Amino acid sequence: VQLQASGGGLVQPGGSLRLSCAASGSIFSINAMGWYRQAPGKQRELVAITTRADNTNYADSVKGRFTISRDNAKNTMYLQMNSLKPDDTAVYYCNALIKPYGSTWHSYWGQGTLVTVSS
């Protein structure tokens, strides 16, 4: 099982980006999926999380600006980021709780995608 994150890049303050995270492999089921970020010199923090039932939760710092969503048929999660600020600059990681065929639930991480907000 692998998670592949994509969509990062350089954007000006006030701009938008859409991140994607695709899960692949021998997947029986995916439960919660989430985005985390780690800025230079800081600890990794939760940005947003979504359950299979589409319940969502956001960090206070991104509420009203970021939207998390998922396409269960494609085993893919998205993060629409609007009104980006320099403080949003970080490496963004996706995480998912996945049950592979013939195995138990495991937490998987994607490789990270860099988002830089700068003029």
How much is the pLDDT for 54? 84
- The residue written with tokens 């609007």 in the block is 82
How much is the pLDDT for 52? 84
Please tell me the total number of residues recorded for the chain in this structure.
119
CA distance 50 to 66: 13
How much is the pLDDT for 53? 86
pLDDT tens track, the chain, 119 positions: 999 999 999 999 999 999 999 999 999 999 999 999 999 999 999 999 999 888 999 999 999 999 999 999 999 999 999 999 999 999 999 999 999 999 999 999 999 999 999 99
Cβ proximity of 101 and 45 under 8 Å: no
How much is the pLDDT for 25? 96
Mean of per-residue pLDDT scores for the chain = 96
SS3 (DSSP) at 74: helix
Rg (CA), the chain: 14
Write the DSSP string, 39-106.
-TTS--EEEEEE-TT--EEE-TTTTTTEEEEEEGGGTEEEEEE-S--GGG-EEEEEEEEEEETTS--E
